[in-house]
C-alpha cells in the first residue's frame, strides 16, 4: 500500500484563501500590509523566486515593492537601503533574497533589518522569540512544515521527531517548533553516529540536508511521516539512474524538460515505506511563499497594534 501524499499545493491554497480574508479585514480598517523584496545581482533562480513572491503578494492585495541592485553593490549600500526601508511605515516586511554576491556581508545586512519587519524570520531577535515562545515572525519553510503536519492531522504531541540537518534556516528552527508542540526531537548532522538507525526511530522524519535522495529506505520507520525539504536538480542521465530505482519516467522528464527535481529523500522508498510523505516538487516548497505572505500580514498586525487573527505556530 502506497504512502499518503501530503499535498503542499492544496495546503498553500487554503492558507492563501484565509490570508485574503484577513487582508480584506485589515484594509477595511485602513491597513494595507506592505512587503519590500530586495534583489541584488542577476542570479536566475533568485530572480524567479523574487518575481514569484512579488506576484503572490500582489494577487493577495498586499502592497509590494521590488528593489533591484546590481551585483557590484557594496555592503554599505545595502545597509543604507535597509535603513531607509526600516524607516518607511508603509513597509511591514523586508525580504533580502539570498544568496548575496560574495563581496557583501550577508550576516551584517540581515542583522540590520528591523526585527519587526523580519519576514524571513532569520534575525537573532526573531530566533530568540521563537526559542522563548514569544509572539514573533518564524522562518518561512519551518513554519510551512508545521502547517503541513497540523493541517494533515499528523499527531505531533508525544511523537518522536528526527530532523536531519542543522541549518539556521530550516533544521534548527523546525526542531524548536516541533519541541514547542511537545514532540521529542533529535537533530542529526554529518557527524551523527549511525545516522540511519537514529532516523529509523522517528515518527516524523524531516530531511533538510541538501543532498539528493540521501534518505533511503534504511532511514525510514514503516508508517512514519517523512517531510522532504530538499530541492535538488538532476541534469544528467547518470545522476538520474543513480537516484531512481526505476529511472524510465524520470529519464523521459529529463529529455523533455532538461532536468529532474528530486528531494533529499529517495521518493520511491518514501512511497513504499512511509505512512505519509511530502513529494518534490509540490510538497514543502509551495508553503514557503505562503508563509512569507502570512508573516507579512502578521508583521503588519504586530507593528500596527491590530489583534492577530492567526494561531501561533508554537502553541499546541
Annotated active-site residue 257? The verdict is: no
First to last CA, the chain: 31
Q: Which residue of the set 92, 97, 117, 228 is catalytic?
A: 97
Cell reading at 229: 525539504
Fill in the DSSP letter of residue 115: G
Tell me how far apart the alpha carbons of residues 66 and 62 are, in angstroms, rounded to a whole number.
13
User: Distances in Å between the alpha carbon of 301 and those of 26, 84, 206?
Assistant: 8, 21, 31
DSSP 3-state of 314 = coil
Catalytic residue among 53, 117, 221, 273: 53
Choose the catalytic residue: 92, 114, 118, 120.
120
Cβ(266)–Cβ(219) below 8 Å? no
Neighbours of 24 (CB within 10 A): 11
The helix/strand/coil state of 112 is helix
Dist CA 266 CA 142 (whole Å): 21
Q: Is 77 a catalytic residue?
A: no
SS3 category, 3 = coil
Is 97 in the active site? yes
Residues ≥6 apart with Cβ < 8 Å to 265: 207, 213, 214, 215, 226, 228, 230, 277, 280
Query: Which residues are designated catalytic?
Result: 53, 97, 120
Amino acid at each position: 500500500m502506497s504512502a499518503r501524499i501530503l499535498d503542499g499545493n492544496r495546503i498553500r491554497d487554503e492558507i492563501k484563501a484565509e490570508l485574503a480574508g484577513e487582508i480584506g479585514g485589515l484594509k477595511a480598517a485602513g491597513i494595507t500590509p506592505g512587503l519590500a523584496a530586495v534583489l541584488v545581482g542577476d542570479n536566475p533562480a533568485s530572480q524567479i523566486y523574487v518575481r514569484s513572491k512579488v506576484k503572490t503578494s500582489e494577487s493577495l492585495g498586499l502592497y509590494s515593492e521590488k528593489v533591484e541592485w546590481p551585483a557590484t553593490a557594496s555592503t554599505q549600500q545595502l545597509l543604507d537601503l535597509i535603513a531607509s526601508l526600516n524607516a518607511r511605515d508603509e513597509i511591514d516586511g523586508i525580504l533580502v533574497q539570498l544568496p548575496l554576491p560574495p563581496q557583501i556581508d550577508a550576516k551584517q545586512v540581515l542583522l540590520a533589518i528591523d526585527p519587526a519587519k523580519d519576514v524571513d524570520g532569520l534575525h537573532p531577535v526573531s530566533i530568540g522569540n521563537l526559542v522563548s515562545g514569544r509572539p514573533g515572525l518564524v522562518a518561512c519553510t519551518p513554519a510551512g512544515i508545521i502547517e503541513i503536519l497540523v493541517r494533515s492531522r499528523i499527531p505531533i504531541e508525544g511523537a518522536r521527531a528526527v530532523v536531519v540537518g542543522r541549518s539556521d534556516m530550516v533544521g534548527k528552527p523546525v526542531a524548536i517548533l516541533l519541541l514547542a508542540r511537545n514532540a521529542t526531537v533529535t537533530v542529526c548532522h554529518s557527524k551523527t553516529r549511525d545516522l540511519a538507525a537514529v532516523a529509523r526511530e522517528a515518527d516524523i522524519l524531516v530531511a533538510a540536508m541538501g543532498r539528493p535522495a540521501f534518505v533511503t529506505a534504511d532511514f525510514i520507520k514503516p508508517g512514519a511521516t517523512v517531510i522532504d525539504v530538499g530541492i535538488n536538480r538532476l541534469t544528467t542521465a547518470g545522476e538520474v539512474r543513480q537516484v531512481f530505482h526505476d529511472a524510465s519516467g524520470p529519464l523521459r522528464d529529463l529529455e523533455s524538460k532538461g532536468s529532474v527535481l528530486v528531494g533529499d529523500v529517495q521518493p520511491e522508498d518514501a512511497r513504499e515505506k512511509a505512512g505519509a510523505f511530502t513529494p518534490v516538487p509540490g510538497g514543502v516548497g509551495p508553503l514557503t511563499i505562503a508563509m512569507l505572505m502570512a508573516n507579512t500580514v502578521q508583521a503588519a498586525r504586530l507593528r500596527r497594534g491590530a489583534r492577530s487573527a492567526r494561531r501561533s505556530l508554537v502553541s499546541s
